[in-house]
Amino acid sequence: MKVLVINAGSSSVKYRLYQMPQEKVISMGFVERIGERDSELSHSYQNRIHTEPVKVANVGEAMELVLRTLVSEDRGVLGQLSEIGAVGHRVVHGGEEFTGSVIIDEKVIASIEKFSDLAPLHNPPNLDGILAVKRHLPDTKQVACFDTAFHATIPKVAYMYALPYELYEKYGIRRYGFHGISHRYVARRAAQLMGRGKYDINAITCHLGNGSSLTAVKNGHSIDTSMGLTPLEGVPMGTRSGDLDPAILFFLEKKGYDVQALNDLCNKESGMLGLSGISNDMRNIEGAAGKGDERAKLAIDVFCYRIKKYMGAYSAVLDTVDAVVFTGGIGENSVLMREKICDAVSQIGLKLDRQANKNAIGKEAEINTQDSDVKVFVIPTNEQVAIANDTYGLTKEQATDRIQPEHLKEYQV
């Protein structure tokens, strides 16, 4: 079966076409800067890459361009669109309704739209991608893979905020967590590397990039995670503040900041950018710190210190930690960040092999010493193949691997 995987955002659409179950990539690409004058298509096929400027006003038009490209005479990889057996979509927020990937129907579409209140920057373009495929491939099954689904096993004691309970009942205000597809993928892969079953591992998975989150995985299930109602909570990120005293916002409101200004402050102007005053890109910050920039050094220290605090808390929650996993742009590529973080949490029995760490840049590797009580892995995340597997499994009616308790309906790869 050919499975098309779509990740539609507000300014870009990324796609991969797989031959399943072999997980072979037939074609991949993206349309970026949607709605701007310099929109661009990048399309990889048959060991070639084609790029061209395009004019696309919205996600729907970008999806139409992707589908046309896949069947075009000069650079297409399909004879006709009907060769696509199923389409899988990354959807950011599934609320409490979706504990796993599901085949999309009208009820699912209505729910994704409903949860746009909780993810206003993500769910609407995710839905636009689904509707565009529905228009052009009305008979093709589509699957929604939710970033929140892996965290459906978090217990109530971990997901409730100490706010009036009626806010949870009325508005669904609770911890949901994100990056779930990534955390699930690397936790499963770590179990494989250790020769264990996927439900026979306790791990702390660290998705570190421009957006960063940590997850405590107990017996293969997420039991706590650093992001909350939105992706703003948790450790500092590229431009997001992470955890802060909410009274800071009330204080700044009195100084003249309105709601939009406060939202921009926390989501777009804080984190590594705000602390360093240089960049939201850790590579630039590491470079500046290496040249002696004190604010860059501070940004790095704050980032690693907050991660240390979360890892310490999660080691207590898990009781026993079998593995720590680094993934994401920073987690996969920054030798310095992994070294500083591992040195900071040596008390959990983790010993870093420094040479192995230096050699592990953008590739899968075990980077602990032989006598380390805790395995340490670098595992490049592959959310696309996880979505492809979910989509293939559900549409082939192979969704037999379900988690406990029985009322949760997650399809796990």
User: Exposed, middle or buried by CB within 10 Å (0-12, 13-18, 19+), for 393?
Assistant: buried
Q: Do 219 and 366 reside in the same domain of the chain?
A: yes
Cis peptide bond upstream of 405, omega within 30:
yes
CATH code: domain of residue 43: 3.30.420.40
Specify the pTM: 0.91
pLDDT tens digits along 158-185: 999 999 999 999 999 999 999 999 999 9
Domain match, 43 and 132 both: yes
- Cα 374 from Cα 349, distance rounded (Å): 6
Q: To which residue do tokens 């009820």 refer?
A: 107
Query: Can you list the positions of beta strands (E) in 292-367?
Result: 323-327, 365-366
- Please give the Cα distance from 352 to 346 (Å, whole number): 9
Q: Give the three-class secondary structure for 163.
A: coil
Pair 109, 201 in one domain: no
Say whether both 130 and 223 belong to one domain.
no
Determine, yes or no, domain membership for 191: no
What pLDDT is recorded for position 290? Answer: 97
Specify whether 208 is located in the same domain as 352.
yes
Query: Is 356 contained in some domain?
Result: yes
* Measured CA distances, 375 to 46, 199, 243, 268, 380 (Å): 38, 17, 28, 35, 16
**CA pair distance 30, 143, nearest whole angstrom:** 20
Residues 130, 226, single domain; the answer is: no
Q: What share of the chain is helix, strand, coil (3-state, %, to 5)?
A: 40, 20, 40
Q: Same domain, yes or no, for 217 and 353?
A: yes
Say whether both 267 and 355 belong to one domain.
yes
Which range of residues forms the domain containing residue 252? 196-378
In-domain check, residue 173: no
Q: pLDDT tens, 5-45?
A: 999 998 999 999 999 999 999 999 999 999 999 999 999 99
Q: Which residues have a Cβ under 8 Å from the Cβ of 159 and sit 6 or more positions away?
A: 174, 175, 176
228 occurs within a structural domain: yes
Confidence at residue 119, expressed as pLDDT on a 0 to 100 scale: 85
CB within 8 Å of 260: residues ≥ 6 apart: none
Determine contact, residues 111/95, Cβ cutoff 8 Å. yes
The active-site residue out of 74, 139, 147, 224 is: 147
Q: What is the CA radius of gyration of the chain?
A: 21
User: Does residue 48 sit in the same domain as residue 135?
Assistant: yes
Dist CA 36 CA 16 (whole Å): 23
Work out how many domains the chain is built from and give that number.
2
Active site residue 147: yes
Would you say residue 182 lies in a domain? Answer: no
Residue 311 resides in a domain = yes
Q: Which residues of the chain have pLDDT under 70?
A: 397-413
Kindly state whether residue 178 falls inside one of the protein's structural domains: no
